[in-house]
Structure 1
Amino acid sequence: MAEPAPNDPHGKVTVFTHDAAQLVVEASGTGARTFLLVHGIGMGRGVFGDLIEHLEPHGRVLAVDLPGFGAAEEPPRVPSIERLADLVGAYLRQHEPADRELVAIGHSMGTQVVTELAARHPSLVDRVVLVAPTVDAAARGALPQLGRLALDLLVESPKVLILGAREYLRAGPHLRRKTRAMLAHRPELSYPKVAAPALVIRGENDVVCPRAWCARVATALRTRVVEIPGHGHETMIRDAAPAARAILAELGVQPVET
């Protein structure tokens, strides 16, 4: 069930409820192609503002808040990555035209959701873009991941730190359990099941997603890695233009300068 969000005078935001979980979807732009944006752990759709500006001239953009993140209500229980993918799939199946090309773009934990979406609901996804894919199989524990994230934050811009702090506070007291659900998922088992064309994007200085891990991801997806010079894990938040150019180039589309 989808309803317009309250306090949204422009009618761009929809609240979708399915299987006791809530998804908040903000739609913008028009066109035959749809870009689906799925955020990482502790984040929300609000971090995608810059990327949306670059993608809007080339199609419809759907930016989501997963359950318990951003403006989406906390669910009764923390969903698994697979359940999050099924929730997004239910929304797309009910509210997006079947003949529209869908490019599913995930960042960090969002890459895990997008991977499962493509693996479990292949008819819904035409192309997959994984930006800073988690979780590196060589460092799956909470402590290694937190240590890498702390190192990555040392090279991030004030914009990333401010947006990240705001979104992490909104993620609420259950962030620890959500992190456990993220770490329990094994994306390397699902990559070979993805039939859609894919692209992996990595910030050159990303210590959360090392080069060797991203190369492994790309190999499993039968694709390549594009590195963004001078960027870290939050490459789509810090300055989305290079990532947007890589995505559009993969689609054979000429970017519109903003």
Structure 2
Amino acid sequence: MNKSNKLSYIDSGEGKKTLLFIHGFCGSHGYWQDIISGLKDKYRVIAIDLPGHGASEPLGASFTIEDMAVNIAAFLDEQQINQVYMFGHSLGGYITLSFAEQFAEKLSGFSLIHSTALPDDEAGKEGRLKSVEKIEIDGIPAFIDGLVPKLFAKSDDPNIENAKEIGYKTSESGAIGSLYAMRKRRDRNHVLKDTKLPVLLVAGEQDKVIPAKKTFTVKGDHIKEVILKGSGHMGMLEAPGKLAEEIIRFVEEK
């Protein structure tokens, strides 16, 4: 693990193109390990830990999706990386959209993986508050034990325990701050519609958290849609080979 601008990260492989992966809520760079193994022979691949997740320090008591995007821009500047293809899972997708809105010049293309440009609806906002309460009362381990199995299509998926172990490393402040940030995020369908960059939208056929209809909200010649058959909300763990193939195809398309 490396650390820069308070963010922990892994940096693998070499190549003219750099791919940056941003995990979802209560995840870490570990979500991408199977994906990275299939990409590092062709590209430079970087996967970060978001603030308060994995080995990264929290941003503070209160922060926004926009703040996290700015944090990543500062990280790229510090690493002297001018352009990347950015891939964001769930929460990471919200950050990717904000990054594309603020720093389009730093992107060669971007992807939402099991994510959406839509804001939380009222039920979603209430659910965020209930999650905050759960963490404050019962702690991170109990919260993760309840959350993670719901992310997978199959209740006996062998990756569930690994995802729990990753989740346990999330700080309470990182989790709670992220919940409030997600609750306050804006509609960014205009970013998908107006961007001049190529976009890859990936949905899980059996994703109960963010179904495909919430991912595929904007159509356009610059947007490619992919559905991962049999996958829930964790395609990078449930279908890493297929997802890696789609990422390569996206990055190599002219």
- Scaled to the shorter chain, the TM-score interval is 0.7 to 0.9
Q: CA deviation at 1:96?
A: 3.2
Amino acid corresponding to residue 93 of structure 1 in structure 2? D
Shift in alpha-carbon separation, 1:156–1:96, aligned structure 2, 3 A: farther
- Which of the pair has the greater relative contact order for Cα pairs under 8 Å at 6+ separation? 2
User: Quick check: 1:125 aligned with 2:113?
Assistant: no
What is the deviation of 1:95?
Answer: 1.4
Equivalent residue, structure 2, for 1:159? 158
Give SS of 2:26's match.
coil
1:148, 1:24 → 2: CA distance?
24
Which residue of 2 is the match for residue 5 of structure 1? none
> CA separation in 2, counterparts of 1:94 and 1:73?
17
| Residue from 27, 34, 37 that aligns with 1:43 | 27
Q: Deviations over 1:50-72 (max 9, x none)?
A: 01001111110011011100001
Q: Does 1:14 align with 2:13?
A: no
The amino acid of 2:3's aligned partner reads: V
CA RMSD of aligned residues (A): 2.6
Match of 2:16 among 20, 28, 32: 32
Equivalent of 1:65, from 41, 44, 49?
49
Letter in 2 for 1:118: A
Aligned pair in 2 of structure 1 residues 243, 15: CA closer, same or farther (>3 Å)? same
Letter in 2 for 1:208: V
Mapped contact 2:63–2:177 kept (Cα < 8 A):
no
- Compared with structure 1, are the counterparts of its residues 231 and 106 closer, same or farther at alpha carbon in structure 2 (3 Å cutoff)? same
**CA–CA distance in structure 2, aligned partners of residues 251 and 197 of structure 1:** 9
Is 1:107 aligned with 2:107?
no
Letter matched to residue 199 of structure 2: A
Match of 1:251, SS state, is helix
**Alpha carbons of 1:152 and 1:64: their partners in 2 closer, same or farther (altered >3 Å)?**
closer
Q: Percent identity?
A: 23
Give a deviation string over 1:182-226, Cα, whole Å, max 9, x none.
Answer: 12112425434533210101111011112221221x438951320
1:113 and 1:239, CA in 2 relative to 1: closer, same or farther beyond 3 A?
A: same
Whole-angstrom distance in 2 between the partners of 1:247 and 1:154: 21
**Shift in alpha-carbon separation, 1:213–1:152, aligned structure 2, 3 A:** same
Instruction: State whether structure 2 residue 24 is matched by structure 1 residue 23.
Output: no
Structure 1, 132-141 or 41-50: larger mean CA deviation: 132-141
Cα distance in structure 2, aligned partners of 1:165 and 1:150: 9
**Which stretch shows the higher mean deviation, 38-47 or 154-163?**
154-163
1:168 aligns with 2:167: yes
Task: Determine if the alignment matches structure 1 residue 92 to structure 2 residue 76.
Answer: yes
Give 1:29 shift.
Answer: 0.1
Q: 1:86 to 1:164 in 2, by over 3 A?
A: same
Q: Residues 47 and 163 of structure 1 are in contact (CA less than 8 Å); yes or no, is this contact kept in structure 2?
A: no
**Shift in CA distance, 181/207, structure 1 to aligned 2, threshold 3 Å:** same
Q: What is the letter of the counterpart of residue 178 of structure 2?
A: K
Distance 2:156 2:181 in 1: 28
Query: What is the rounded CA distance, in whole Å, between the counterparts of 2:147 and 2:196 in structure 1?
Result: 31
Q: CA offset at residue 48 of structure 1? A: 0.9
- How many residues are treated as equivalent by the alignment? 234
Q: Is the 8 A contact 2:39 2:244 kept in 1?
A: yes
Q: What is the CA–CA distance in structure 2 between the aligned matches of 1:149 and 1:134, rounded to whole Å?
A: 19
Separation (CA, whole Å) in 2 of partners of 1:156 and 1:127? 34
For 2:251, the equivalent position in structure 1 comes to: 251
